[in-house]
Structure 1
């Protein structure tokens, strides 16, 4: 491994939205995890990159209790091993382990059959920056005020809706724990952008309701990372808040 350095400034918010009775989303920021919370304002933390730092959002599926368990397990496991992850192979391995662990739990508890979770995030270390995802939660790199999606949506391609906007679906083709009948294959890649870099990670509770153009505009107009994350959350709520909403903005400096 190379010599790590610098720090990452993370601003995050996770909320149940305007409709769902509970929050099945969870987030991980280095050794810190937040699961099942209902935050009305973002939290901010500064993490040294003296050792690997993992940052991710997870969106639980399979019903209230099952989804909460799956997403919470995923972020806890990532927090436990994050400092030992060195690159794509390690990321793929831990995501594979989490997938198997969630499946095993569902087999032992039939009431949790079909439980799973999406995940999208970045690993920052001395060798560089790596993105990863399973499902339809997203990781974007912020480039000159524009959002470039790094993650690859595990969802079927649909024709545009009647108003010309991209169609959205709650159906996903794979998740951690929920890829029944097939092998889960995570998307993992190196982010070739040099530091300093900025990333936005979110569950589909944001990306399904707020267009990329709208997100870019709000981030450009915000006076701080906290204001940007709050504005994005507020836009999703005003758009109906039909799902849980998790947002993480991270700057490696």
Structure 2
């Protein structure tokens, strides 16, 4: 018998990829965080939504240990504060607080100057489902066989390549922390889709290398969410695995 608010089934994997020496991505699933990990098999957990549940990926920026510290701080703070979040204003305030905390840390430790992290995820509570992001990590809603991007990329628009492959850039216009000028403005919105709902969250280590239609096919053809997440990771690795890869596939019911 389900608890009030139902539950969410989350399947996750985070990996350094084929080239990077370390994994500066982190993930959060409710009270659980995973950082600096090199998983080759997904983990699956079932979380009750009797209190608000936050799910997100964070892609650290800054090289050395700096990006790793920034993304880990972000997911720890989200895990800590997630159960108290009720809606968009509180999500935006938390992300602003994390932004300030990372900037303060970089000021106090000059070797970490410019450290930052992207973030993309969802907050699930009794009032509904909310998406959020800063940077170019992505949140998609899974609608039947199709992925619809909810998050808004904080990266410059580039013309498509002649072969139709996505053109990618490592430049992002804002992050949590980071050295970009001006104030950070998170993207936050309500997901109006009716329950049950499903989402895919990923760092650009997946979305830069695997087209959305290829991701759709892998999820649709997989026999389980674990198989789907593993297939997505493998596709990014086979496409060069040039960045850390983090994937969360979540289904609320």
TM-score by length of 2: 0.98
Provide the C-alpha distance between the structure 2 equivalents of 1:4 and 1:94, rounded to a whole number of angstroms.
25
Structure 1 unmatched ranges of 5 or more? none
SS in 2 for 1:59: strand
- Corresponding residue pairs, total: 251
Native 8 Å contact 2:115 2:179 kept in 1: no
- Taking structure 1 as reference, are residues 247 and 72 closer, same or farther at Cα in structure 2, changes over 3 Å only? same
Deviation at 1:4, TM superposition (A): 4.8
Partner of 2:65, secondary structure, is helix
C-alpha distance in structure 1 between counterparts of 2:144 and 2:45, whole Å: 23
1:190, distance to aligned residue in structure 2 (A): 0.1
Tell me how far 1:179 sits from its aligned partner.
4.7
Say yes or no: does 1:90 pair with 2:105.
Answer: no
CA distance in 2, matches of 1:226, 1:164: 29
**CA drift at 1:234:** 0.3
- Give the CA deviation at 1:194: 1.2
1:6 maps onto 2:15 in alignment:
no
Q: Aligned residue for 1:183?
A: 183
Structure 2 partner of 1:241: 241
Deviation at residue 51 of structure 1 after TM alignment: 0.2
- TM-score where L is the length of structure 1: 0.98
User: Any conservation in 2 of the 1:4–1:125 contact (CA below 8 Å)?
Assistant: no
Displacement of 1:5 after TM fit?
1.2
Return 5+ residue gaps in structure 2 as ranges: none
- Asked if structure 2 preserves the Cα contact closer than 8 Å seen for 1:52 and 1:86, the reply is yes
Partner residue of 1:232? 232
Q: Which residue of 2 aligns with 1:196?
A: 196
Deviation at 1:64, TM superposition (A): 2.7
Matches within 5 A, 1:1-253: 4-253=4-253
Indicate conservation of the 8 Å contact 2:206/2:233, yes or no.
yes
SS in 2 for 1:250: strand
Could you list the structure 1 runs, at least 4 aligned residues long, displaced by more than 2 angstroms after superposition: none
1:97-134 CA-partner distances (Å, limit 9, x unpaired)? 00000000000000000000000000000000000000
Kept in 2, the 8 Å contact 1:23–1:36? The answer is yes
Cα contact 1:119–1:135 (8 A) shared by 2: yes
Q: Using the TM superposition, name which of 177-186 and 196-205 deviates more.
A: 177-186
Moved more, 118-127 or 171-180: 171-180
8 A Cα contact 1:55 1:123, kept in partner? yes
* Deviations, residues 112-158 of structure 1 (Å, cap 9, x unaligned): 00000000000000000000000000000000110000000000001
CA spacing shift, 1:38–1:89, aligned 2, 3 Å: same
